[in-house]
Structure 1
Amino acid sequence: MTPTLPDSLGAACRAVLLAADPMTKVRLARATARAWRRGQLAHRCDVAMPDEPARPARPELLPANRMPKRGRGGSERGRLALLHALAHIEFAAIDLAFDAAGRFGGDFPRRFADDWIGVGADEAMHFAVLERRLRALGSSYGALPAHAGLWEAAAATAHDAAARMAVVPMVLEARGLDVTPETVARVRSGGDETSARILQRIYTDEIRHVGIGAKWFGYLCAAADIVPASHWQMLVRRHFRGAIKPPFNDSARAAAGLTRDFYMPLVPLTSVGSQDQR
């Protein structure tokens, strides 16, 4: 059944964020994307986005330092833990995309919301496919604990669209471009071709998502007559708590518009040296 939606972009995005049940969130995300494409939602961001999205009772959310080690995905147990962790990332990514559209969309041309609503629909599809794969393997989303910190980057950049573009797609999603090809190869070598194809599809979509973030970051820099790479570095230093470290998938990053002059100045010299010795 198609959910009943509010009549504005902001209110519809807020409804997605406030849906705690995973499949309800997926249905609302898809319905919002359809309604937006059909012109059924007014281009108004007239309601505040929540400080935090709603979450289901499970999975149990743990700090990163309390998360159990999941292995490398070679064993059946390790593969289930890997797929569960990725499903949790995609679940959080639904909220990140709709929050970007609903929080900042009123300050941009309509095509900004076109892009981020489309990203949110992709993330909903990714989550649904991973959840279906988990069930086919005898598990489900919520069966294992998950990382509690995925919303931290959204909270840290809620006040600044440039900071949001810099940190969420251009740091967090870009890291997925670095690690996914090796993950696909491991899963495939373990004999799980179905899961490998799912992860390859997600990887292809994420290159485009990083590119959307880089495009709108560039748009903001051009409007303010700011040099993009140095401004990105300043925002990442200010708002991202982690480290920018190799190995990097330079070709995928470049395809998304994230070239080495952005991220290499933030890499510690010891990390550069260790990468050169690989």
Structure 2
Amino acid sequence: MNSLAAAIRAALLTADPRAKCFAARDVARRWRLGKLGFVFDTAMPDEPARPDRPELLPPRDMPKRGKFGSPRGQIALWHSLAHIEFVAIDLALDMAGRFGEQMGEQFVSDFLWVAADEAMHFALLARKLESMGSHYGALPAHGGLWQAAHETRHDVAARLAIVPMVLEARGLDVTPATRDRVRGAGDEHGARILERILDDEIRHVAFGSKHFMQVARSRAANPQDLWKCLVREHFRGGLKPPFNDSARLAAGLSREFYEGVAS
């Protein structure tokens, strides 16, 4: 039986976007079917493999998207969303592969489910771009999205606090407004894609919250206090309102977490 760690590492080191999507979903499927052993015999890479395109730029060097109603602005929006979901595949895979032995089989199952979801989201967005006459890689992309994973590679609590409970939770805040703008522009197909992503991301943040609570209990720490400490230590950007309180609460993030650290 193949080892789980080796399968996850192979998916992380797959550069081609379509192949990475297939690899992530295949790892999740084989794990679910009992075809991968709970064996961690190889380390996760410091960086996942990336395709030659898109060009990755520092946030300050990213070109402006242009007006939303313009074809250029719409393509830039969907390209940005596709890149976020592409990096999210690797974030979920690395979570399962780096911390799975420490956290257990349910943790692995949860984050491989997330990886498969993110692969599906990316595929939907890549097809959306192609329907508009573009493709993933046609524009530059944000080069700093992996930084949070790299900086929290030493501590599962820090990784859970920053990736699902800050970065993915931010998606819960901004996606409804983006969906409404897309729908208001007459793009019902795009709005449905965003609704699907929003529904799935609530579950993803809930996985992060659930396992963070378990880690906090194991450390005899107050979950809200531990989270705030880790956010202040590892997250450089401020938490900016408005917050989607109902979606955050559904994902296990009460206002007690982010009150006092929001800018």
Instruction: Please classify the TM superposition score into its range, dividing by the shorter chain length.
Output: over 0.9
Alignment of 1:150 with 2:145, yes or no, is: yes
What secondary structure sits across from 2:82 in the alignment?
A: helix
Deviation beyond 2 Å, 4+ runs, structure 1 = 71-76
Which residue is 2:42 aligned to?
47
Spell out, residue by residue over 1:217-275, the C-alpha distance to the aligned partner (whole angstroms, 9 max, x if none). 0010111211000100000111111111111111100110011111111023xxxxxxx
Q: TM-score, normalised by structure 2?
A: 0.98
State which of 206, 221, 228 in structure 2 corresponds to 1:233. Answer: 228
Equivalent of residue 212 in structure 1, options 202, 207, 213: 207
Percent of residue pairs identical = 61
SS of 1:265's partner is coil
Instruction: Return the alpha-carbon distance in structure 1 between the equivalents of residues 256 and 186 of structure 2.
Output: 38
Distance 1:219 1:73 in 2: 42
Aligned to 1:273: none
3-state secondary structure, aligned to 1:13: helix
Alpha-carbon spacing, 1:223–1:105, altered in 2? closer, same or farther (3 Å): same
Count of matched residue positions in the alignment of Structure 1 and Structure 2: 263
Q: Which of 231, 237, 256 lines up with 1:242 in the alignment?
A: 237
Tell me if 1:70 matches 2:65.
yes
- Say yes or no: does 1:222 pair with 2:222: no
Determine the structure 2 residue equivalent to 1:95: 90
Structure 1 residue 122 and structure 2 residue 103: aligned? no
The code of the aligned residue for 2:80 comes to A
Deviation at 1:68, TM superposition (A): 1.1
Of 5, 17, 31, which aligns to 1:10?
5
C-alpha distance in structure 1 between counterparts of 2:189 and 2:67, whole Å? 17
Report the aligned-residue RMSD: 1.0
* Whole-Å separation in 2 of the counterparts to 1:48 and 1:266: 34
Structure 1 counterpart of 2:156, one-letter code:
A
Secondary structure at the aligned position of 1:141 is classed as: coil
Matches of 1:177 and 1:72, distance apart in 2:
23
Residue identity opposite 2:44 in structure 1: M
Unaligned runs of 5+ in 2: none
Distance in 2 (CA, whole Å) between partners of 1:137 and 1:223 is 49
